[in-house]
């Protein structure tokens, strides 16, 4: 039978079916449901743009907390994580093979941990009483008199979320950029210096980045997606959805809050659609920013 | 002419000029690995060290108590620990195998075969790189429920098989393989499936390893499947059991030791596989560019 298998559909059908079922249909369904009132028991009722209008005009939690939090989180974690990935990859490329491999594995390892599996570390590290490592240390050094409620007080939660996310931001994009730098033709640099390249900054901007632009773009997409993917972290850290005073509430948590806690599936779907559009537009903007250096 | 003093990629030996990189990289690596070391150390702490004040980072008298507790707490819930292990191993191994098969086949077609809609399909897949599954948890659940997949082993596997990043990476990798090999095999009368199995698969071993790792991470760590799509406790996975520990164990401090042990069990397979295959992953990533 294998001898007769010609034609692309032998190869494509399984992927296309699974891709359509678990990615395309859910996205289309989310778009469809976002125009309905759906409480999971009755059949969805068409309500036009009401969910979107409510989201943008009536949902105070969304406008005052969720959206600003998401934007703040994304605009800090995304660029810094991406920049860190590039700089570290750039440095790793310039050291010998053995230490490079070792250090690359160490730096990549956080992204292999499941978010939930690591929650224990953060809860112990930032625990709100004196047995928390950070509190114990701060008390010991004398910086504070009373242990700080890191995970339940609104003013610290977001910062901790950002640090934790940055800790795990050297993922697939980081590996891609490292591979990209490693594969740049060494003679390009030599030639460029003969042509009057003056310093390492020029070198990075005129040779390194343009030569590995495809990997830079891939890394950018991975970092945008990664940033929105880790959104659940605030709920894991504080152990509550909604997070204390909505301090760590991101769009992903808002979706869960409305979908699985209040069973307003139509409304939750509208939030999902807004989130997908945001991810898409941010990726596009990143592309055009990086693309301009051609 | 100035002496060349720019970037040296992949130097053979250590040189003083590299010190500045090590000064950044080593503290960074230490900072990043501290939580990992903490997990390892915490997992082996006996009860009195877990309660110790002030807390100590490193374990003094390592024990396996936390691991034993993981087993006994599972037994108390009515599901033996070994059942969770079995489920996870089954689901992950079948899932990784299928993911590799499905993804590489599609990648071969997208790279080397000619058909209508090929470009469009690849573009849709590239768009799906930006897909965030967590955003469509609800419609995904509705789709799965409608298909009657709830409470079947398959539901822990199927949603995670089609991996846009995997397809993308393998397709880019296959693009690099010369067409001549394929052409000459065709002249010898080989079918496309035979070419894929006998010629392409061996050449793309690095890309296969990469897809394998990515899908392993995804399926092994997945909690959503067991939480939402499966009600039958005896079908849930290790990662699910570990995610419920906090609520199963009343005592938070004792729970911490067990959770550290659980995290370690989740992490170790990931890191071992990555260490063995990292060369191949880097090889694949070299072709990962978005053009």
- CATH superfamily name and code, B65-285: MetI-like (1.10.3720.10)
CB within 8 Å of chain B, chain A residues 225-244: 225, 228-229, 231-232, 239
User: What is the pLDDT at residue B247?
Assistant: 77
Q: How many domains does chain A have?
A: 1
Distance CA A273, CA B142 (A): 16
Distance CA A219, CA A78 (A): 11
Cis peptide bond prior to B22, omega within 30° of 0: no
Residue of B nearest to A7 (CA): B192
Choose the closest CB to A232 out of B24, B105, B134.
B134
Which value does ipTM take for this structure?
Answer: 0.90
* Dihedral in degrees, nearest 10, Cα atoms B269, B248, A241, A164: -30
For residue A236, is pLDDT > 70? yes
For residue A292, is pLDDT > 60? no
The per-residue pLDDT for range A103-126, each reduced to its tens digit, is: 999 999 988 876 666 777 888 888
Q: Rounded mean pLDDT of chain B?
A: 89
Q: Is A69 contained in some domain?
A: yes
Q: Which residue is associated with the tokens 């915490």?
A: B42
Please name which of B42, B264, B69, B63 lies closest in space to residue A131, comparing C-alpha atoms. Answer: B42
For residue B235, is pLDDT > 90? yes
Mean pLDDT of the B162-186 span: 92
The per-residue pLDDT for range B143-161, each reduced to its tens digit, is: 999 999 999 999 999 999 9
What pTM was computed for the model? 0.90
Mean pLDDT of the B259-268 span: 91
Q: Is A23 contained in some domain?
A: no
Residue of B nearest to A230 (CA): B134
CB within 8 Å of chain B, chain A residues 58-117: 87-88, 91-97, 99-101, 103-110, 112-114, 116-117
* Dihedral in degrees, nearest 10, Cα atoms B108, B114, B119, B120: -100
Segments forming the whole domain that contains residue A209:
62-251
B135-to-A225, B30, B160 alpha-carbon distances in Å: 11, 34, 15
Contact criterion met (CB < 8 Å) for A26 and B12: no
User: What is the pLDDT at residue A141?
Assistant: 85
pLDDT over 90 percentage in chain B: 63
Q: Quick one: DSSP state of residue A114?
A: -
User: What is the pLDDT at residue A294?
Assistant: 43
Q: Do A206 and B7 form a contact (C-beta atoms < 8 A)?
A: no
Mean pLDDT of the A249-269 span: 89
Contact criterion met (CB < 8 Å) for A175 and B282: yes
Q: Do B134 and A231 form a contact (C-beta atoms < 8 A)?
A: yes
User: What is the pLDDT at residue B132?
Assistant: 86
Instruction: Kindly list the residues from chain A whose CB atom is less than 8 angstroms away from the CB atom of residue B174.
Output: none
For chain A, give the number of residues: 294
A11-to-A166, B123, B238 alpha-carbon distances in Å: 39, 18, 33
Min Cα–Cα distance to chain A from B89, Å: 16
Domain boundaries, chain B: 65-285
Choose the closest CB to A259 out of B12, B127, B138.
B138
């Amino acid at each position: 039978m294998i001898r007769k298998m010609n034609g692309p559909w032998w190869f494509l059908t399984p992927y296309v079916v699974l891709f359509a079922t678990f990615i395309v249909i859910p996205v289309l369904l989310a778009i469809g449901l976002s125009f309905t009132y759906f409480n999971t028991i009755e059949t969805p009722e068409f309500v036009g743009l009401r969910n979107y209008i409510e989201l943008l005009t009536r949902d105070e939690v969304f406008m005052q907390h969720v959206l600003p939090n998401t934007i703040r989180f994304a605009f800090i974690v995304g660029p810094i994580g991406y920049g860190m990935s590039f700089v570290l990859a750039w440095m790793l490329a310039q050291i010998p093979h053995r230490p490079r491999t070792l250090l690359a594995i160490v730096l990549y390892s956080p992204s292999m941990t499941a978010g939930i599996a690591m929650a224990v570390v953060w809860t112990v590290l930032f625990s709100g009483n004196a047995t928390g490592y950070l509190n114990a240390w701060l008390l010991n050094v004398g910086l504070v008199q009373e242990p700080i409620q890191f995970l339940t007080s609104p003013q610290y939660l977001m910062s901790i979320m950002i640090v934790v996310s940055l800790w795990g931001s050297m993922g697939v994009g980081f590996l891609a950029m490292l591979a990209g730098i490693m594969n740049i033709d060494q003679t390009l640099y030599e030639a460029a210096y003969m042509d009057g390249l003056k310093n390492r900054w020029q070198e990075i901007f005129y040779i390194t980045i343009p030569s590995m632009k495809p990997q830079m773009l891939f890394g950018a997409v991975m970092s945008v997606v990664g940033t929105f993917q880790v959104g659940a972290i605030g709920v894991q850290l504080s152990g509550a959805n909604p997070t204390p005073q909505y301090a760590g509430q991101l769009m992903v948590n808002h979706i869960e809050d409305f979908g699985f806690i209040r069973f307003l599936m139509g409304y939750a779907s509208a939030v999902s659609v807004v989130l997908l559009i945001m991810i898409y537009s941010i990726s596009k903007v990143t592309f055009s920013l990086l693309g301009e250096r051609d | 002419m100035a002496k060349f003093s720019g970037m040296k990629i992949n130097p053979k030996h250590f040189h003083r000029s590299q010190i500045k990189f090590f000064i950044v990289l080593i503290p960074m690596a230490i900072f990043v690995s501290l939580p990992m070391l903490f997990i390892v150390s915490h997992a082996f702490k006996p009860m009195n060290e877990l309660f110790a004040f002030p807390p100590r980072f490193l374990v003094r008298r390592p024990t396996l108590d936390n691991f034993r507790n993981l087993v006994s707490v599972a037994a108390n819930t009515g599901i033996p620990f070994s059942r969770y292990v079995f489920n996870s191993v089954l689901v992950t191994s079948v899932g990784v195998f299928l993911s590799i098969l499905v993804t590489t086949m599609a990648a071969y077609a997208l790279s080397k075969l000619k058909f209508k809609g090929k470009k469009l399909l690849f573009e849709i897949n590239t768009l799906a790189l930006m897909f965030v599954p967590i955003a469509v948890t609800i419609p995904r659940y509705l789709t799965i429920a409608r298909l009657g997949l709830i409470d079947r082993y398959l539901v822990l596997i199927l949603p995670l098989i089609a991996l846009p990043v995997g397809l993308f990476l393998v397709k880019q990798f296959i693009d690099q393989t010369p067409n001549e090999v394929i052409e000459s095999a065709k002249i010898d009368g080989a079918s496309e499936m035979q070419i894929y199995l006998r010629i392409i698969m061996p050449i793309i071993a690095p890309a296969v390893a990469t897809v394998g790792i990515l899908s392993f991470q995804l399926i092994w760590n997945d909690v959503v499947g067991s939480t939402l799509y499966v009600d039958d406790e005896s079908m849930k996975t290790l990662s699910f059991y570990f995610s419920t520990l906090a609520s199963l164990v009343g005592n938070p401090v004792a729970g911490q030791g067990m959770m550290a042990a659980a995290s370690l069990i989740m992490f170790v397979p990931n890191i071992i596989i990555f260490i063995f295959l990292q060369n191949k992953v880097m090889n694949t990533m070299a072709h990962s560019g978005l053009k």
